[in-house]
């Protein structure tokens, strides 16, 4: 198992590719302290955080992030009688984040994912595949 990185301050500054075209959706049941280790990667982007579970619980997001935070009450208000189509208690609440995003691309990550101690560009494979054309022959 790879240990989470502890020194994210020395991480190389990542050039924010697709800054105006990408939202990051995070379903969560806990405070988002884990975002501190992702700060070099996620800070330039807009976050859509969807709280799973008890909507009366206060979710704390570290300062400096551009984000929207939604909970079950918000979803009920926005979707009305169709709100039950957004499942809760299984991270499927991220689907609401997909729905409210206005960006061309959406990246999603769970609140229990940690930065590797390897010095890798986390988004490299993601950016690579965005540049590839998918066709009917992709799977053959």
81 membership: H or E segment, kind and range: none
Q: Is the pTM of this model over 0.85?
A: no
In the block, residue with structure tokens 């984040």: 97
**3-state secondary structure at position 50:** strand
**Contacts within 8 Å (CB) and 24+ apart, 65-68:** 65/35, 68/100
Q: Is 72 helix (H, G, I), strand (E, B) or coil?
A: helix
| Phi, psi of 4, deg, nearest 5 | -65, 145
Which residues neighbour 55 within 8 Å (Cβ) at sequence distance 6 or greater? 71, 72, 73
pLDDT in tens, the chain (140 residues): 445 555 555 555 556 778 888 999 999 988 899 899 888 888 999 999 999 888 899 999 999 999 999 999 999 999 999 988 888 777 788 999 999 999 998 999 988 888 776 545 666 666 676 666 665 555 54
């Amino acid at each position: 198992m790879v240990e989470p990185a502890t020194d994210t301050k020395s991480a190389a500054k990542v050039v924010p590719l697709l800054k105006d075209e990408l939202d990051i959706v995070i379903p969560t049941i806990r405070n988002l302290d884990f975002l501190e280790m992702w700060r070099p990667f996620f800070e330039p982007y807009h976050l859509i955080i969807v709280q799973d579970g008890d909507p009366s619980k206060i979710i704390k997001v570290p300062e400096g992030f551009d984000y929207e935070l939604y909970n079950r009450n918000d979803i009920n208000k926005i979707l009305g009688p169709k709100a039950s189509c957004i499942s809760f208690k299984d991270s499927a609440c991220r689907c609401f984040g997909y729905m409210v995003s206005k960006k061309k691309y959406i990246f999603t990550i769970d609140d229990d994912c940690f930065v590797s101690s390897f010095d890798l560009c986390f988004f490299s494979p993601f950016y690579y595949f965005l540049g590839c054309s998918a066709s009917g022959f992709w799977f053959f």
